[in-house]
Structure formats: structure tokens, C-alpha cells
Structure 1
Amino acid sequence: EILRRVVDSTVLPQVTPRYGIEQPLHVEADRDPRMASLARLLVAADPAEAFALLDVLHAEAGSLRASCMWVSEPAARDLGDLWASDEVSEFDVTLGLGRLQQSFRKLCLEADHNDRPQERLRGRILIAPLPGEQHLMGAVFDAEMMWREGWDTHCEFPEDNATLIKLVKRQWFDVVDLSLSLAFNREDWMQRMAQTIADVRRASLNPALVVVVRGRVFFDHDGPLPELIHSVGADGASTAAVLVVPSFQASAARS
């Protein structure tokens, strides 16, 4: 617990501006043994035990940032791993992610809002899952993080590319954040993501639009992350919610 708090308060602010885009940042300390059972509890018929454990883990994490890094996002990947090993169905994964999101929303309501800047000076950002993506947790996490950083945050869930394009045609955005599943590795969706980003850039009122992407596929990627980013036409990628801000800052500096 002490290690997690030190990393959250001291280490992350130092390393994320440096590594937010250049390479994936897999910051996972020795896993809490309780995390091994969390994914299975999340898909149980009665989620009471899962919610009780989440309450304890969130409290021990000590902050919303740490909870995302150490609890919620690893649990999402664990759900995906259970599916990959044929231990649960895709419906189970979706159910478990919904319960994780429910716990996160409760945590947000309880979190201190006093740290949020009083003035929105950082621009407008559109946060959305890639159209067709049924797992919405990445967008929800990113929206909360960016809102807390003082951004004018707009979180939408477009059902198709046409709906997404209408949004960027009608409103000015400085940044678009597109997310894929935090549980499943959507490597076969890269071409779809590239086409969506190209369409968004053509339609955007902002000719200097910055596009940041995220999802498990970027967390899992073993090769140079900039190559994967370039392949989909994005400016940057974040491998965790706490890296959304630094990855955008690095992307904007390069654009």
C-alpha cells in the first residue's frame, strides 16, 4: 500500500510526461493476491463480495488515479484473460466490466473535487469509444481524468462513424480521444480505427486536431509503440487512464 501511494504521488508525475507516448508504461508492482479472485467475483451471480472487495482495494489505493492503475484496469484485463482461456463468456466479461464501472462511478462521487482547476483553460476534448466498441469503460475512465484536469470534456458514445463525424463537424475540439476495450486485445480492429481517424480528421473543424487512442491493444503491444500509433493515424496513445493527459501533451508538442 505504501509503495502504491509513493508511485502515485511521486513517481508517476515524473515518468508519465517522459514516457506517455515514446513507449508503453507497464507499471505493475507485485500483484495483490486478492486481485487473482476479483475477476471471478465480478462475474458471480451475486456481486456483493466483488463490490465489498473493490471498496477495500479502492480505499487502500488512496486516490482515484491509483485505483485506476492498480485496481480497475488490471481487473478488466483479468476478465479478458478469463475469456481468452474459455473460463467465461463474452457476456460475463461485459457484465464484469459493468460492475467495475459501477464501482468506479461510486468512487468518483466520493472523491474530492477540490483539486480540479476552477477555470477550464485546457481546451475542449471529445472522448468516445471507437464506434462499434461495446466496452465503454476506457472512455468513462478517460473522461473523468480529463475533467479533473480542468478540460472542457465531452464524452459521447456514437453508434457509428457517421454520428462521430457529425460531432466533429458541428463543434470545435482540440483533442479527440478514441478508446477500444480494456479487456480484449482488439488487434484486428486496427484497420477500422485507422479509417475512423482518417474520417474524423477530414471532417473536423480543427485542422490541427490531435487524436489520442487507447485500449488493451496498446497496453499489450510489445513492439515500438510509435509504430502502432502511426499505423492508425493517431498522434499519441495512452496505456492507462492516468497517462491520458501526458500522452496528449507529448502529442500536442509534436504536432
Structure 2
Amino acid sequence: MFGGLPGTISPDMNVGRARRHTTASRASARRGVMLDDLIQGEIIPRLLVAHPAPAAPNSANGAVRIAPDEVKAFAPLPLSLEADELLRHVEQFLARGVSVESIFVDLLAPSARKLGQFWEDDACDFIDVTMGLWRLQEVMREVAMRVPAVTQALSEPRSALFSPLPGEQHSFGALMIEEVFARAGWNSEALIEPRRKDLLRTVAERNFDLVGLTVTNDCLSGALSDLITAIRGVSKNSAIQVFIGGRVVNANPGLAIEVGADGTAPDARSALALAE
């Protein structure tokens, strides 16, 4: 924590939207794992499961962007700066009017990926990366509590469920897109490492307007098509939409049509725009 800064919370605490977190211990034993497996499947989810989303206005509304050179300059800082020092850098972006969403998606997440790249390239060791990511986690917690999520005054807010493809451990995409939708006023939640039956049971028990599946590993299109058909078959909402995204889909957007999905988008912001 920030040397005693108030308001930090435990990742194991219930923070409003039920989420399970994965552990980084498995990653340390898999030195040859790909960058996505380390960052997306093991550590970045901790950046997203550990903060609350209470109802309060967010003064920044995404009008101010973070420049690429600023992202590049910030990326390695968690290796050398403590969390409170990193927070002061982030506060400068917030003071300029950069939105919390942009801080998360455009600054902290690229920094986390860059740290993983340093480790993969043997530019630093696993302990350095782990400490750097822990510092990013502390920054995210503090920012999220200082600038809570927007809750739009909708009589019937739309609902969405996001999940990695059953069998995958790459949960960063699902957690990130869930956060973006939640901050836009959706009732959203994310599943982490669900089994197929868990996913289908959740869809069957709840009335979702949208289900989003992230696909990171190569998979058979027939299996994905079958899952989408099953989701529609058990859904309480006959008009449910199913979106797919992730590395595999971004590399082949035509896969969405092939498997019968209702849409795809290259990132969380685009997915929100498509859904709305």
C-alpha cells in the first residue's frame, strides 16, 4: 500500500461486482510462457478486481487523450518508482482532464504489458516485474476510489456479461471491457476462467442484453459457433446479442460472421459504441 494511505482494499474483499482473481504464482513457474499468458492471464486481472465502482460523477469525460510519447515515457517507471511517486504522475494526467477509463486502458495496461516485455526480453527479472505490477495495482486502486464510476440515470440500465472463452485463462480482455461498460452505466459483470456449464448457467439464470466473449487462443470455429448457439438457446432474453473479440478475432474479424456472432470490435471503447 502507499505507506499507509487510507482507502486501499484487499483483492479478496467483495467490491460490488462479484469477481474471482487469478494468482501470479503460476506464472513464476512457467518461465517460457508467452507475454499474453503472463500479463493478461495472471497479473493484470489483479489491476481490475481490486477496486470498487460506487456511484458518483466522473468529471473527466474522455475528451483529453494521452499522447503515445507520454505512454512510452511512463511505461518503465514502475520498475524504479514507488507507488506514491507513480500516483503523482497519474495525478498530472487527471488534472489535465484525462478520464479514468483512459488512465486504465491507455496508460496502466500498456505499462503492464511493457513490463512483461522487459521480462520476456531478459531486461529485468520476474521479481522486478512483479513489484512493478504491484505498484500499478496500488495506483489503480487509489485512482478508482478517488474518481468513482459514473452511474447514468437510466430507469432500466442494460446488462452485459463478459467472459473469456471457457477453457482459457486470458481474463484481461473480459475484465477490461466489463470495467468500461460499467463506467458507462451498464449493469455488467465478468466471469473469470469459467467452465462452459458455468457460463451457460449464468446466462440462463440472469436476463442479459449482451454477452461478450474474448477469444485469445486459437479455437475451432465450430466449437465457438456451438457455444454462441447454446447461449442464445438458454438465454432468458430472446433478443440477446453476442459479441466476440480478442486477439484471435482481431486477427480475423470475419470470424464473427462465420460463427454467427452479432458483432465484434477491436477494443473496449469500440465495443461500447457498437452496443449502444
TM-score, structure 1 length as denominator?
Answer: 0.63
- Counterpart among 50, 55, 71 of residue 32 in structure 1: 71
Q: Deviations over 1:181-220 (max 9, x none)?
A: xxxxx3514645444333322322223211123334455x
Are 1:70 and 2:106 counterparts? Answer: yes
Whole-Å Cα distance in 2 between the matches of residues 129 and 231 of structure 1?
19
1:129–1:139: 8 Å Cα contact kept in structure 2?
yes
For structure 1, the residue ranges without an aligned partner over 5 or more in a row are: 1-5, 12-26, 42-46, 181-185, 250-255
Q: Secondary structure at the match of 1:33?
A: helix
Greater C-alpha Rg:
2
1:97–1:135: 8 Å Cα contact kept in structure 2?
no
Whole-Å Cα distance in 2 between the matches of residues 193 and 84 of structure 1?
31
Q: Quote the offset at 1:233 in angstroms.
A: 3.2
Q: Quote the offset at 1:123 in angstroms.
A: 1.8
Between stretches 76-85 and 103-112, larger displacement belongs to 76-85
Q: Quote the offset at 1:70 in angstroms.
A: 1.9
Are 1:9 and 2:45 counterparts? Answer: no
Q: Quote the offset at 1:128 in angstroms.
A: 2.4
Q: Quote the offset at 1:131 in angstroms.
A: 2.5
Q: Quote the offset at 1:73 in angstroms.
A: 3.3
1:212–1:247: 8 Å Cα contact kept in structure 2?
no
Q: Secondary structure at the match of 2:244?
A: strand
2:228 corresponds to: 197
1:131–1:160: 8 Å Cα contact kept in structure 2?
yes
Change in CA separation of 1:187 and 1:194 when aligned onto 2, cut-off 3 Å: farther
Change in CA separation of 1:125 and 1:195 when aligned onto 2, cut-off 3 Å: same
Change in CA separation of 1:102 and 1:157 when aligned onto 2, cut-off 3 Å: farther
Counterpart AA for 2:82: E
For structure 2, the residue ranges without an aligned partner over 5 or more in a row are: 1-59
Identity of aligned residues (%): 29
- Counterpart among 243, 247, 255 of residue 212 in structure 1: 243
Whole-Å Cα distance in 1 between the matches of residues 152 and 239 of structure 2?
25
Q: Which has the higher contact order (CA 8 A, sep 6+)?
A: 1
2:184 corresponds to: 149
Whole-Å Cα distance in 2 between the matches of residues 9 and 73 of structure 1?
19
1:60 corresponds to: 93
- Counterpart among 186, 205, 224 of residue 170 in structure 1: 205
2:83–2:139: 8 Å Cα contact kept in structure 1?
no
The number of equivalent residue pairs is 213
Across the aligned residues of Structure 1 and Structure 2, the Cα RMSD in angstroms comes to 3.9
Q: Deviations over 1:153-177 (max 9, x none)?
A: 2333353001101111122211012
Change in CA separation of 1:206 and 1:68 when aligned onto 2, cut-off 3 Å: same
Whole-Å Cα distance in 1 between the matches of residues 82 and 102 of structure 2?
21
Between stretches 170-179 and 102-111, larger displacement belongs to 102-111
- Counterpart among 156, 160, 171 of residue 125 in structure 1: 160
2:143 corresponds to: 107
Considering fraction of residues, name the structure with more helix.
Answer: 1
1:125–1:153: 8 Å Cα contact kept in structure 2?
yes
Q: Secondary structure at the match of 2:63?
A: helix
Are 1:236 and 2:267 counterparts? Answer: no
Whole-Å Cα distance in 2 between the matches of residues 240 and 214 of structure 1?
8
Change in CA separation of 1:110 and 1:79 when aligned onto 2, cut-off 3 Å: same
Change in CA separation of 1:10 and 1:89 when aligned onto 2, cut-off 3 Å: closer
2:71–2:106: 8 Å Cα contact kept in structure 1?
no
Counterpart AA for 1:148: R
